[in-house]
Chain A
Amino acid sequence: MSAIATTPTFDLPGVDGRNHSLEAYADAPVLVLVQSCNHCPYVLAWEGRINDFQREYRDRGVRIVAISSNDAEAYPADSFEAMVEHARGAGYEFDYLYDESQDVARALGAERTPEAFVYDADRRLVYHGAVDDSREEEGVSAHYLRDAIEAALAGEAPPVADTPPVGCTVKWRS
């Protein structure tokens, strides 16, 4: 697994106008971090499914947190203001945070958007990679993220622990 094995610490502004730290999610039995952004067509294709997961698993305490680290100067569509608008328009049920310094993306070892990192109750990384195996929802046959969440909730290892994320590159500052 290429990603680091434990959750990076963070304290980032969210589109809800509040700051969110890693400690704020301490009660969640499973924490899912998703490297994301606004402008990427792969994010747009998968964000509805990610939103469905948050809706479906909220009652079981699972928290999904999307983080955008893209260079908003070079990609204005990924500015914090645009994030607020995008989250509102898409009806995000999960927190959406802005990693302007890109420190969290670097700490995660993130490369793509979307790219999922699933942590168990002890905040050990149990899954890293793609949400599932098809951009088109009707073509999905392997439910990587769902399987990882279910396994982590059961205290077990997921059937697949690492897949290559498919999506746009993280837009690093030059």
Chain B
Amino acid sequence: MRVEFLFWAGCPSHPEARELLDDVLAARELDVEVEMREIFTREEAVELSFPGSPTIRVDGRDVDPEGAALPPALTCRVYRLPDGRPSPVPSRQQLEEALLS
């Protein structure tokens, strides 16, 4: 399994998202090395189809396929929690579904 974690340092959400991802991986006993990649420029964002920070892909699939369709940008990404509230990090449920599908 390949897990990529793309982030832009201008958004403060990536440490929280990485912690949540590590927690889910540990809880599911998934021994996976997460590939971290920092995005620095708009050109990189375009090249990597990076819709905002953080973006997490499992075997190339975004954990939030709907949000993945947004235009590339150096910005904080908006996720939706199961109850509909906006969040700067994906939900545990989104991560679990992506990692276990």
Contact = CB atoms under 8 A, between A and B. Distances in A.
Do A and B interact? yes
Interface string A33-74: 000000111101100000000000000000000000000001
A75 B85 contact: no
A44 B75 contact: no
9 contacts: A39-B78, A40-B78, A41-B87, A42-B76, A44-B86, A45-B87, A135-B88, A167-B76, A171-B75
Given A42-B88, A166-B12, A168-B11, A75 B79 contact: no
B24 interface: no
Nearest to A112: B12
B86 A75 contact: no
A6 interface: no
Contacts, number: 37
Contacts of A102: none
Contacts of B85: 45
Nearest to B88: A41
A171 B75 CA distance: 9
A169 interface: yes
B12 A44 contact: no
B12 A41 contact: no
B86 A41 contact: yes
**Mostly helix, strand, loop or mixed at chain B's interface?**
loop
Contacts of B73: 74-75
Interface residues of B, number: 15
Chain A: number of interface residues, binned into ranges: 10 to 19
Interface in A98-148: 135
B10 interface: yes
Contacts of B77: 41
Contacts of B88: 41-42, 45, 135
Interface in A157-172: 166-169, 171
A75 B75 contact: yes
A169 B42 CA distance: 15
Contacts of B94: none
A75 B42 CA distance: 12
B14 to A, nearest CB: 13
Most buried by B among A40, A41, A167, A171: A41
A171 B10 CA distance: 10
B72 to A, nearest CB: 11
Nearest to B76: A168
Contacts of A44: 78, 86
B93 to A, nearest CB: 16
